[in-house]
Amino acid sequence: MSSPSIGTAPTRADRTAATALAAFFIAGCGVLAVIVAAGAGNCSAPFAIPGFCQSSPGLAIAAAIAALPLIILLLVRRSLAAFLALYIVLVPIDDALLVGSGLTITKMVGIAVALAAIGRLIKRRAQIRLPLAVFGWIAVVGLMALSVLWAVDPSSSTGELVTICSALALMLILVAVPMDRAELRAIIAATIVSGAVVGIVALVLARHEVSTIQGQVGRLYLTFGSATLDPNRFGAALLLPVAMTVGALGQAAGWRRIGLFALLGLTFTAIYLSASRGTLLALIAMAIVGILTSRYRVALGALLASSVGLLLVVPSEISKRLFLEGTAANGAGRLDIWRVAVEIFRGHWLLGTGAGTFIPAYNRAFFLAYEPQFAGWNRDPHSLLLSTATELGMVGIAIMAVALVLQYRTVRLVGADDSYRWLRTVFRAAFIGLLVAALFVDVLTTKFAWLLFTEMLIFSRVAVESASPTRAESLGVT
């Protein structure tokens, strides 16, 4: 009997067996990930695994297990796509992935992304072409670094500067590196999946993580060891996944569309459980942007109006928080915080108090403002506008405005190729939604805000590279 040669092509039975084995492996990883996530931070949960349930990285381990099949598949030939996809999936739950002081699983994956991207830049010796928006952000971060010289508390600036500088550095690297269509599709898919992942985690942990704090009753605060996910932050982190999923729905058909609807439902579940009023307003703004670009403006506008009306009338945690009196009606004390911020701005209107110094500046100016209710000490600004105004002054507001305008104008570069034209509306809606959310949450120190900026710039680079040099120069790309 002759033995089969090494180069023999696999038979149909071989391919069927390999597919079944891969499906079994993927399903096993998914089940194990749900079990680990259910027990993360809650050893009384069914099937809780000893050790994982008492450690804060439990959720990170669950996410890594769920992503293991994708990582194995992509690492064979596409290390950058694998690490970048994992990074995108982890970003919405970044605050819960602490493994040490100032170190998260997401940051470690981000470092791997940067190394993979740098390796490709060196290997291909690619020509670096950067949109003007990049230089706008460099100016913002440069001013923040200089503000340490006049900061009221320089030690408070260090942590924020490290976070923002690392996010900017990763954005610069990813915008500079050339990417193919498979990697662009991986970015889109990972962005969509990231929202569904948060939805699954929210559903699994909702029973024992619902807040009982007055004014916050019924809201989902995901706690993992010493780390807690702020509902407003993880609600805002889901704006890009919502926009991307809705945009992809318009391009899909059949089973793909059904699958996207299911993923969108999971994402909306997490947003509903967060009961974030700022996120709700951001979603309405995003819907308006999408409606204005549609041929069915009247019908979709009527649908949006009726949906908002039902949301206000039908009892739910969000409708309760919209009509609550006292602290909750006062934006969870935000108006009292903002009154103090006005006093800070009056004393430091030109250059501000220095990046990352809002809390010490707030404590110093607390008694200068009228406070109908005691909002407490050491409060965050809860607004990008006020944090910029108080920490960087009028100069910072001007530079930030220029950077945001340049970032928004980047959208016009996206979609020179018809296959990605739909991303124009996606990024416009997500960007406007982020700005609305930024009125209630300071998003500049969050990875999800910089991820949105980065994805906009990545796809704009692809569009510019497909255009002629003259066209690229006219679009403001160097």
- Phi-psi label, residue 208: left if phi above 0, alpha if psi -120 to 50, beta otherwise: alpha
Q: Which two tokens stand for residue 142?
A: 């440069």
90 domain-assigned: yes
- Amino acid 453 reads F
Q: Please give the model's pTM, rounded to 2 decimal places.
A: 0.81
Per-residue pLDDT at 323: 63
36 domain-assigned: yes
pLDDT digits (tens, 9 = 90+) for 59-96: 666 767 776 666 666 555 577 888 898 899 989 888 77
Give bridge partners of residue 220 from the DSSP assignment: 210
9 domain-assigned: no
Q: Which two tokens stand for residue 253?
A: 């058909």
Ranges 113-127, 172-186, 383-397: which has the least confidence:
113-127
Domain housing 104: 19-474
5 domain-assigned: no
Quick one: 463 exposed, middle or buried, by C-beta within 10 A (0-12, 13-18, 19+)? buried
Distance in angstroms (rounded) separating the CA atoms of residues 141 and 164: 7
- Amino acid 293 reads T
8 domain-assigned: no
271 domain-assigned: yes
Report the relative pairing of strands 103-104 and 222-224 from DSSP bridges. Answer: unpaired
Nearest Cα residue to 63 out of 34, 103, 85: 34
Answer for the pair 334, 130: CB distance below 8 angstroms, yes or no: no
Q: How many CB atoms lie within 10 A of CB 64?
A: 19
Domain count, the chain: 1
2 domain-assigned: no
Distance in angstroms (rounded) separating the CA atoms of residues 244 and 210: 28
State the average pLDDT for the chain.
79
302 domain-assigned: yes
pLDDT digits (tens, 9 = 90+) for 330-364: 445 677 788 888 888 998 899 999 998 988 888 88
Distance in angstroms (rounded) separating the CA atoms of residues 87 and 241: 14
Element (H, E) at 297: helix 297-313
- Phi-psi label, residue 78: left if phi above 0, alpha if psi -120 to 50, beta otherwise: beta
Q: Which residue has the tokens 């970003």?
A: 91
Q: Which two tokens stand for residue 452?
A: 């949105």
